[in-house]
Chains A and B, each alone.
Chain A
Amino acid sequence: MTLSIITALGMVGCLGVFFAILLAIASKVFSVPKDTRVGEVEAVLPNVNCGACGAPGCAGFAEGVVHGKYPANACVPGGAEVAKAVAQILGSEVIDKEPRVAVVRCAGDKDKALQRAVYSGVRQCKAATLIQNGAKGCVYGCLGFGDCVEACPFDAMVMLENGLPHVFEDKCTGCGMCVKACPRGIMELMPRSQKVFVACVSKDFGKAVKSVCSVGCIGCSLCANPKTTANGAITMDGKIPVVHYDLVKDPWADLEKAVRTCPSKSFGVRGPVPEPAAAAPVPEETAA
């Protein structure tokens, strides 16, 4: 009895020692050198796995950036700080990126834009575009089912009662996931330092727009007129005006006249609208 216990113990003990030696040798022979920088990079990342950099999550980005697959400043939510830290670890230079923020380029809420049919399908924007191109009168306008809100990894968006999404600018990191999610191309990233944007993406003109939305851009090109906006900061691209932010020196003063001249009130202004210099109608605030 005792003997068999001792034999068993001895056998197992011997086997244990044997495998321990085997493993020790194997770990030496087959060892893979791991780049310690991957771990270091991972430690400085925000670890929200938003995917804005293009990698499947932060670990993937850390791995990729070390092997030169992504630029050091590709992590959008991390901003300049993380970019600097990553660059330090990799011993490369940082190129500063202008921080950006998402804006909603449609102001046609439930009261201002016409609904042309009752929609009872799947409550997703992408799905709504598949049925007769959406039930909204304007086929360019926001459908209001919040694919963008759903896509935001930072909880920086909500769907408002009025049927338009809203961006909490303090939470928005400019990762651009909402831009990718919107089937209508309404979400856009603009420089944080800027104030004015065109809050309409409709490609229709005049009457076609007016018949479905009271705040849609009618393409009159008044804002792009040099008398309204100096040094070509606004030009017309097809029908829609484009603001060239690199040409704007003062985010408000340079564009104020355009905002106030627009007959359809199609400009959006971030933050409070400064007191008018002259007595002119104050445009609607589209993104606070």
Chain B
Amino acid sequence: MPGKHFRGGVHPREEKKGTSHKPIEEAPLPKQVVIPLLQHIGAPGECLVQKGDSVRTGQPLSKPVKFVSVPVHASITGKVTAVEPRPHPLGASLLSVVIEGDGTEDRIETLKTSDDWQLLSVEEIRDRIRDAGIAGLGGASFPTHVKISPPPEKPIRVLILNGAECEPYLTADHRLMLEKADGILTGLRILMKVLNVRRAVIGIEKNKPDAISLMRSKTEKDRTIGVAPLHVKYPQGGEKQLIKAVTGLTVPSGGLPMDVGCLVQNVGTAFSIYEAVCFRKPLFERIVTVTGPGVVESKNLRVRIGTLFSDLIAFCGGYSDETVKVINGGPMMGIAQHTDGVPVLKGTSGILVLDEKSGRMKPESPCISCARCVDGCPMNLMPNRIAGLVEYGRWKDAVGIGLTDCIECGSCAYICPAKRNLVHYIKLGKALNTESMAADGGKK
């Protein structure tokens, strides 16, 4: 029987064999880290340190100024050598704190034993989560304390823990589930308490049978937590697709999961929540899969936030000869980098290094109207139409047929035999739309 699923989607090669059996390894303490103040969706915090300051591991470097904002923390012990714009994996250079490590490790006080979280109030838990700087570790990096504060008129009924990890190549969440199952489950229970929900489901793709059986055995006695084996299909881990697969509910166009009483959290986020609430440990390290045919040895690593890609790739044996492309994230949604001097962020789940053969791009050619993209789109859109309209400047019409509903999963561009840059056109249309909305808003 196939696992639960949604309409549409594609079946890219999984390519997870290289790392799925490799235990998480501790990456060496980096000599230098670059920590951008903005690593989440929302406003960057206000910088608290300046050049020359000594910092300890875990010390906050910024203080949130708005509600939708989280602090960032020093991930190594040493001296601040610069506060300046540095290349950021998501695009332009952004203000970052550069710390030169002194080789020692002097952590700020964290709790040694797990604080009994059951005794904490909901507000206290939320504050701890915010102060630890937690923003979705799955990739989108939305500040978690905001996500778990839904308005009272939209109560959450089902909490879904996202262990789908549908991006090819990546295995960070898979390894975390195998090695830190208890922590993840505690994180999940903390979330259930904050949101006051009595039902949680852990969604895991069926290509991780070991994780499914482990989670099943650990939750056997707990009737409030279920495990849902999911059909192996991309983008199973998309928020809306996961909700559809697990609960059968459809999030309305332009709506949020809370509109149907659901909330999705990534397993990595749940584990960080556990550490933040029980040990008051800020988010300064995460699991990153460094993989791909362009790197000598693929690994799952526990990495300090701010470690440069180049350091991690060197630790994995360096580049194989014909490396052509370094991608922040997976092959479907990740963004190719122009330099390996960019840091790991809170939302960096993988670094994919492609070689000449796997990274080759065929030239774009005209649409042959095969409609494969329409069949593959998990959001029921017509990517060919939308992209065509945007290409000729008619993005306003494209908005009318669902441009803004696109989750940029890349299924359409993956399946297109004409190699149309569908997602890029859609991104362009969205950017133009946002710009024009901002301009209209300015006039009013």
> Are A and B associated in one complex?
yes
**Residue ranges of A at the interface with B (Cβ–Cβ < 8 Å):** 116-118, 120-122, 124, 126-127, 130-133, 135, 139
Are A132 and B338 in touch, CB under 8 angstroms?
Answer: yes
Provide the main secondary structure of the chain A interface.
Answer: loop
With A117-B336, A132-B335, A139-B92 as known contacts, state yes or no: A122 contacts B361, CB within 8 Å: no
Provide the main secondary structure of the chain B interface.
Answer: mixed
Asked whether any CB of chain A lies closer than 8 Å to the CB of B425, the reply is yes
Contact of B432 among A120, A126, A131 (CB under 8 A): A126
- Return chain B residues, CB-CB under 8 Å to A139: 92-93
Complex Cα distance, B431 from A139, in Å, reads 18
Contact of A130 among B336, B337, B427 (CB under 8 A): B427
Are A132 and B91 in touch, CB under 8 angstroms?
Answer: yes
- Taking CB atoms and an 8 Å cut-off, the chain B residues in 337-354 that contact chain A are 337-339
Complex Cα distance, B342 from A132, in Å, reads 12
B217-248 vs A, CB cutoff 8 Å, 1 = contact: the mask equals 00000000000000000000000000000000
Contacts between chains A and B (CB distance < 8 A), count:
42
Are B424 and A117 in touch, CB under 8 angstroms?
Answer: no
How far is the CB of B268 from the nearest CB of chain A, in Å?
25
- Return chain B residues, CB-CB under 8 Å to A120: 361, 363-364
Complex Cα distance, B251 from A271, in Å, reads 61
| Chain A residue nearest to B421 in the complex (CB) | A122
The 9 sampled A-B contact pairs (Cβ below 8 Å) are A117-B336, A117-B338, A120-B363, A120-B364, A122-B391, A126-B431, A130-B91, A131-B91, A131-B336
- Return chain A residues, CB-CB under 8 Å to B181: none
Complex Cα distance, B361 from A118, in Å, reads 10
Residues of B in contact with A, size category: 20 to 34
Are A131 and B421 in touch, CB under 8 angstroms?
Answer: no
Contact of B339 among A116, A121, A126, A131 (CB under 8 A): A116
Complex Cα distance, B413 from A121, in Å, reads 12
How far is the CB of B34 from the nearest CB of chain A, in Å?
16
| Chain B residue nearest to A127 in the complex (CB) | B428
Complex Cα distance, B428 from A122, in Å, reads 9
Complex Cα distance, B339 from A139, in Å, reads 14
Are A127 and B424 in touch, CB under 8 angstroms?
Answer: yes
Are B431 and A132 in touch, CB under 8 angstroms?
Answer: no
Complex Cα distance, B364 from A133, in Å, reads 21
Contact of A127 among B93, B361, B425 (CB under 8 A): B425
Contact of B425 among A122, A131, A135 (CB under 8 A): A122
Are A121 and B338 in touch, CB under 8 angstroms?
Answer: no
B400-444 vs A, CB cutoff 8 Å, 1 = contact: the mask equals 000000000000000000000100110110011000000000000
- Return chain B residues, CB-CB under 8 Å to A121: 421, 424
Complex Cα distance, B424 from A101, in Å, reads 33
Complex Cα distance, B421 from A216, in Å, reads 32
Since A127-B427, A132-B338, A133-B91 are in contact, a sample of 11 more A-B pairs with Cβ atoms closer than 8 Å, ordered by chain A residue number, is A120-B361, A121-B424, A122-B428, A124-B428, A126-B428, A127-B425, A131-B91, A131-B335, A131-B424, A132-B335, A139-B92
